[in-house]
Structure 1
Amino acid sequence: MPFVSRRRLAWGLLLLSPAMFAVNMLMARYATFVPPNALALGRWLGVALLLLPFVWPRLVRHRHALGREWPDLLLLGALGMWVCGAWVYIGGRTTPALNIGLIYAASPILVVALGRLLHRERLTAGRLAGIALCLAGVAAVFAKGRIDNLFSVQFTEGDLWIAAASTCWGLYSVLLKHRPSALDPLTRLCAIAVAGSLVLLPFTVGEAMLWSGPDFSDWRTWTCWIVLAIIPGVGAYGAFSFCIRELGPSVTSVSMYLGPLYVGILAWVTLGEAPQWYHLVGTALVLPGLFLATRPPAKGA
């Protein structure tokens, strides 16, 4: 009997992964000096290089499974690493972090809807109530406690990129759960990172030829790649993949509602922006909402 069961570990990572994803949202606004496709390629190539020494024996052992699963790996790489990577960085050049968080906060609804539509997953009254509470909490944070602020949010061209990335994130989550794989979550993540890097490569080359390439002599470029590879790369995607496998996409995706709250905390720590009363209101709504939305349905119900 392990000291910590896989399911208990998954519940712990469920609360931690949104904080690691929040680092990516902050970096999308900060690292505008690195071309977006190059930023995504550096991130995911770094993830693959970090994981390869640990998963190489398993990749060799499952080489026949890799041969069968390569179409799925390329599709997941295109969705999770190119669309949900480079497109977020493109959108972050003209879209405030507030808008990024607001649009991404809607992605769990798509995951739950796709799970219900495609795979007949249970959508109980408790889950619906939990999602409603989570949405209300996120709205309270973004509106700063005033409804008229929420309606006055101005959407930019970059919001379209973020909306497309958010939609594909929902597809990525559902496919990750429902496409069978012989690989464990960490090994599969490495394989998807390699596939995503292959998808990103031609776009990065074209970006460098048409506009500009990354400045390899700038230490900030390398720092961004390393941070993105470790925290929202290996850390966030690894935790998310593990939670998807243990808890399912509908349950796991709802944890993304914590993202805006973590962004607020990180902004406080790094930028000195103290939380306001509406952050507390948002937390008071989101946390019970998460409990209701992720609570498994009663047996026989």
Structure 2
Amino acid sequence: MTDSRVAGFLFALMAVTIWSGNFIIASGFVEDIPPITLAALRWVTASLIFVPFAWRGMQRDMQSLLDNRWAIAGAALTGVTLFNTLVYVSARTTDTVNMALLGSTTPVFVVILARIFLKERISPARAAGLAIAICGMLTIATRGSLDTLLHLTFRVGDVWMLLAGFLWAIYSILVKRKPITISRNSYLGATFLLGAIPLIPAALIEQQFHVPWAVTPAIVGAVLYVGIGASLAAFFLWNSAIMIIGPGTAALFQYFIPVFSGIGAFFLLGKPITLVHGAGFVLIFGGVALATRPR
């Protein structure tokens, strides 16, 4: 295995580690702050911090940014404006099991689109590893209860979660097709800025239909985490991973999110880790290892 491939794996692993904290925050603050408002605060924070550092590069690459404006606007809309907003909306309108079930389709969407548009090969080992990782994720979500899986009740939030997964797959393909004439910082700065702008008026409209919410130290800390960590740092790492190992391989690491979320909930919220969690962890690790192994 080459050093660059190892680096790609590490970048993807670090990104999903940060995102696991984002899911804890999304579930913990789902009733405290409206979903579009949370998404707007997240991306405005990320843009205000990152764009000033990327601005010189964006000016240098301005012609290339303009030449590829539709592809960049597509990445901003799918990966920034809509994806996380739909996840937050889904968290308000469905339960954790359904989110995990439909969230497990996201890497499947990425693998399929990568095969169609980037000609990434779907080997038998990758298909088998993907199936095993999905089983591990469902084991954790259902706490090992087949009865829970058989008696799922589907809600409107499930549609939003499914759509979010498909949009994330589109974003991953667009990132891989980033022109070499645009630097990584310029690309991130442009997508952050373009993605955050539509969320501002949407959040202002949302305030008219939701009960007032208070700005507390906990909410400020949550916004800083999702803005700096889950947006700025994680997206930089994730985009780097996609450029090195491809979107299909990087997407498999998203199955580690429930693993790290469970560990984080154990240390931060005191929630127990059971044998069922251990079985799910083993299946996910085994599935991703199988799907990403060298030919």
TM-score (norm 1): 0.89
Q: Who is 1:285 aligned against? A: 283
User: In the aligned structure 2, how far is the partner of 1:112 from the partner of 1:189?
Assistant: 23
Q: Who is 2:223 aligned against? A: 225
| Counterpart check, 1:124 vs 2:152 | no
User: In the aligned structure 2, how far is the partner of 1:136 from the partner of 1:185?
Assistant: 35
Quote the offset at 1:229 in angstroms: 0.6
User: In the aligned structure 1, how far is the partner of 2:215 from the partner of 2:112?
Assistant: 46
Q: Who is 2:158 aligned against? A: 159
Matched residue type, 1:233: S
Q: 1:255 aligns with which of 253, 256, 260?
A: 253
User: In the aligned structure 1, how far is the partner of 2:289 from the partner of 2:182?
Assistant: 30
1:40–1:123 CA distance, 2 compared to 1 (3 A): same
Structure 2 unaligned regions, length at least 5: none
| Partner SS state of residue 34, structure 1 | coil
Quote the offset at 1:217 in angstroms: 4.6
Q: 1:16 aligns with which of 14, 36, 41?
A: 14
1:144–1:191 CA distance, 2 compared to 1 (3 A): same
Structure 1 unaligned regions, length at least 5: none
| Counterpart check, 1:83 vs 2:82 | yes
User: In the aligned structure 2, how far is the partner of 1:15 from the partner of 1:79?
Assistant: 22
Matched residue type, 1:277: L
Q: Who is 2:235 aligned against? A: 237
TM-score (norm 2): 0.91
Q: CA offsets per residue over residues 182-224 of structure 1, 9 Å max, x none? A: 333343222111010122223223223x324875754444322
Q: Who is 1:199 aligned against? A: 198
- Aligned ranges for residues 13-162 of structure 1 at < 5 Å? 13-31=11-29, 32-162=31-161
1:294–1:269 CA distance, 2 compared to 1 (3 A): same
Equivalent residues of 2:139, 2:279 under 8 A apart? yes
1:55–1:249 CA distance, 2 compared to 1 (3 A): same
Equivalent residues of 1:47, 1:193 under 8 A apart? yes
Q: How many equivalent pairs are there?
A: 293
| Partner SS state of residue 33, structure 1 | coil
1:19–1:43 CA distance, 2 compared to 1 (3 A): same
User: In the aligned structure 1, how far is the partner of 2:24 from the partner of 2:152?
Assistant: 19
After TM superposition, the structure 1 stretch with the greater mean CA deviation from structure 2, 272-281 or 199-208, is: 199-208
Instruction: Tell me the percent identity.
Output: 27
User: In the aligned structure 2, how far is the partner of 1:117 from the partner of 1:143?
Assistant: 32
User: In the aligned structure 2, how far is the partner of 1:95 from the partner of 1:146?
Assistant: 19
Matched residue type, 1:192: T
